[in-house]
């Protein structure tokens, strides 16, 4: 994974810019004191740095959003978090439209700055593994467990390691895995069936698993058979929906082999509907992605489906 790293000096410089924007806002609204509500927890660091800036006299931090003039956070990405806390402020402060809502100020605006990689702050890099373990510990406490009992000692660390394995697809690049061979003599369908896979639903972060069937019709190029499994692993070892995996596999085959046709069919059981929700234990979801001759030629399509039965 690529990172956009900030050091302490970067954070302070950004805090100065935020302070200037808040001062402009304060002057336009004739407000004497600025009560900052920091969104936990990155917003707390941002607010503390703002208090260190010249011109921040009259600024203070409040943990009561009902008393806040402004909301502070470290990062704007999708905007979902900011909207949630703005809505909370409306409820707590009983704001009636068209009164202005408390503005939200950010150290980093990924959209405006066109930052596509993961932003890392210095406080996150100080001990990244410990931060992950702390979050798991808090999750255990949230569900009502005692993280200090014998059976759970070491669990946060084990969960962190398990997640690195379960989501290892984010660290893999297709170009490092795919080996293509020029072979003009192979023009018959190639099918690798019943490839076991495990993935994780992006909606509930619960596992789903099953088998995949991958095939293609060569166009003077073939791929090492194990690489078909590797391609599948790259995309399944991420937060996913089943429908997307098949399309990603066929897109990868088309981009690297330019085959006459490609196909990927997945059959899986989803724990998000087995152990919660509708609780249907025997339900199995089947999805497919067919391209080129595999989709448009009835004979090729029928041949592939016959192979995987």
Are 177 and 234 within 8 A, CB to CB? Answer: yes
Count of Cβ atoms closer than 10 Å to residue 34 Cβ:
22
- The β-bridge partners of 207 are 200
Q: Is residue 13 part of a domain?
A: yes
pLDDT band (50, 70, 90) for residue 62: very high
Domains held by the chain: number: 3
Q: How many residues does the chain have?
A: 309
Is 283 in the same domain as 258? Answer: yes
Query: Hey, is 181 helix, strand or coil?
Result: strand
Please state, in angstroms and rounded to a whole number, the distance separating the CA atoms of residues 168 and 234: 8
Q: Is 171 part of a structural domain of the chain? A: no
* Domain carrying residue 238: 176-308
User: pLDDT tens digits for 66-98?
Assistant: 999 999 999 999 888 888 998 888 888 887 766
- Structural domain contains residue 291: yes
Mean of pLDDT over the chain? 90
For 126-181, how does the pLDDT look when each residue is reduced to its tens digit (9 = 90+)?
765 567 888 899 899 999 999 889 999 899 999 989 998 999 998 888 888 888 88
Whether residues 191 and 286 share a domain: the answer is yes
Residues 259, 191: Cα–Cα separation, whole Å: 13
Q: Which two tokens stand for residue 223?
A: 């791929």
Local structure of 276: helix, strand or coil: coil
97 found inside a domain:
yes
Residue 240 lies inside a defined structural domain of this protein: yes
Residue 255 has a pLDDT of: 93
| Catalytic annotation, residues | 201-204, 242, 270, 272
* Beta pairing class for 118-120 and 207-217: unpaired
Write the CATH number for 190: 3.30.1130.10
Is residue 97 located within the same domain as residue 131?
Answer: no
Averaged pLDDT, 37-52: 93
Among 166, 194, 228, give the residue marking a domain's end: 166
pLDDT tens for each residue of 181-211: 886 667 789 999 999 999 999 999 999 999 9
CATH code for the domain of 76: 3.40.50.2020
């Amino acid at each position: 994974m690529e990172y956009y790293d900030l050091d302490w000096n970067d954070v302070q410089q950004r805090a100065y810019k935020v302070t200037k924007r808040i001062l402009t806002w304060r002057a336009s609204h004739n407000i004497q004191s600025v009560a900052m509500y920091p969104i936990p927890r990155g917003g707390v660091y941002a607010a503390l740095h703002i208090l260190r800036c010249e011109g921040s006299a009259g600024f203070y931090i409040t943990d009561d959003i009902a008393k806040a003039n402004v909301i502070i956070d470290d990062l704007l990405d999708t905007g979902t978090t900011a909207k949630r806390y703005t809505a909370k402020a409306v409820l707590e402060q009983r704001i009636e439209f068209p009164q202005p809502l408390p503005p939200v100020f950010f150290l980093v605006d990924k959209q405006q700055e066109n930052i596509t990689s993961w932003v890392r702050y210095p406080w996150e890099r100080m001990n990244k593994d410990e931060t992950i373990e702390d979050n798991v510990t808090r999750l255990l406490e949230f569900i009502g467990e005692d993280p200090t009992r014998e059976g759970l000692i070491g669990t946060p660390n084990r969960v962190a390691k398990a997640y690195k394995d379960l989501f290892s697809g984010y660290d893999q690049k297709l170009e490092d895995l795919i080996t293509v061979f020029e072979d003009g003599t192979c023009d018959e369908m190639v099918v690798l069936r019943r490839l076991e896979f495990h993935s994780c639903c992006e909606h509930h972060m619960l596992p789903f698993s099953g088998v995949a069937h991958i095939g293609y019709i060569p166009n003077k190029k073939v791929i090492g058979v194990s690489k078909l499994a590797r391609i599948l692993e790259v995309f399944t070892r991420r937060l996913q929906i089943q429908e997307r995996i098949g399309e990603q596999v066929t897109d990868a085959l088309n981009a690297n082999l330019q085959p006459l046709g490609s196909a990927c069919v997945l059959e899986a059981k989803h724990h998000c509907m087995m152990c919660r929700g509708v609780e249907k234990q025997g339900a199995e979801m089947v999805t497919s992605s067919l391209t080129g001759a595999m989709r448009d030629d009835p004979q090729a399509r029928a041949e592939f489906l016959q192979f995987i039965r």
